[in-house]
Amino acid sequence: MAYQPEDLDELERTVLGVLSVGLPPSKSAGSDTFRVDHVCAVVAGLRESGEKAVFLGDDHVRVVPAFRARLRAAIESLEAKGLVTTASEPGLPAPVGGYEEGLLIDLVDPDEHPTLLDRYLSQLCMEELFQMPAVYPFLIERYAASGEVWRRLRDGGYARD
């Protein structure tokens, strides 16, 4: 089945749009503010209430458990629709939702993002996010900062054959 943005709920569109931005691994970026769950929480907060930190904890970085559960359900729904996958190939890091001893289980490992399977739909969702006056400044800042991180990583030899 071919999906259109209107076939998805708001959080599913947010997830696809955020994944389409092209965030670098947060460890490589040196900041958890590049985590997919963090960016989705900020964008969802801006969409739903106009507030950036409504779904963030006291540190303004980690997402609150209630939002983590909503995000997990949205990603599971997107995976069931065949729009993303959280499965990893043999020899790669554990899939999203892995457990690291001593830490709370987080939806998205800092260096694992769900893989987009429908890039066209995700681009439409990203464009929807960029059209929102409350979301645009935050998302364009993440996009610009991601470009700087990717440039630094490439200069350091990342993804060279």
144 has pLDDT over 70: yes
Q: Strands, DSSP E only, in 4-156?
A: 84-85, 115-116
Q: Angle 152-85-149 (CA atoms, 0-180°, nearest 5)? A: 10
Q: 55 is in which domain, residue-wise? A: 5-149
Tell me the per-residue pLDDT of 101-134, one tens digit each, with 9 for 90 and over.
Answer: 333 334 445 456 788 999 999 999 999 999 999 9
Query: How many separate domains does the chain show?
Result: 1
113 domain residue, yes or no? yes
User: How far is residue 150's CA from residue 25's CA, in Å, rounded to a whole number?
Assistant: 9
117 domain residue, yes or no? yes
Tell me the per-residue pLDDT of 3-55, one tens digit each, with 9 for 90 and over.
Answer: 999 999 999 999 999 999 988 888 888 899 999 999 999 999 999 999 999 99
Where is pLDDT greater, at 135 or 1? 135
72 domain residue, yes or no? yes
159 domain residue, yes or no? no
pLDDT at residue 111 in the model: 52
44 domain residue, yes or no? yes
pLDDT at residue 161 in the model: 58
Where is pLDDT greater, at 161 or 74? 74
158 domain residue, yes or no? no
54 domain residue, yes or no? yes
User: How far is residue 25's CA from residue 112's CA, in Å, rounded to a whole number?
Assistant: 7
161 domain residue, yes or no? no
Provide the angle, in degrees to the nearest 10, between the axes of the packed helices 36-48 and 65-80: 100
Average pLDDT estimate for 136-152: 92
CB 122 within 8 A of CB 116: yes
Q: Count other Cβ atoms within 10 Å, centred on residue 134.
A: 15
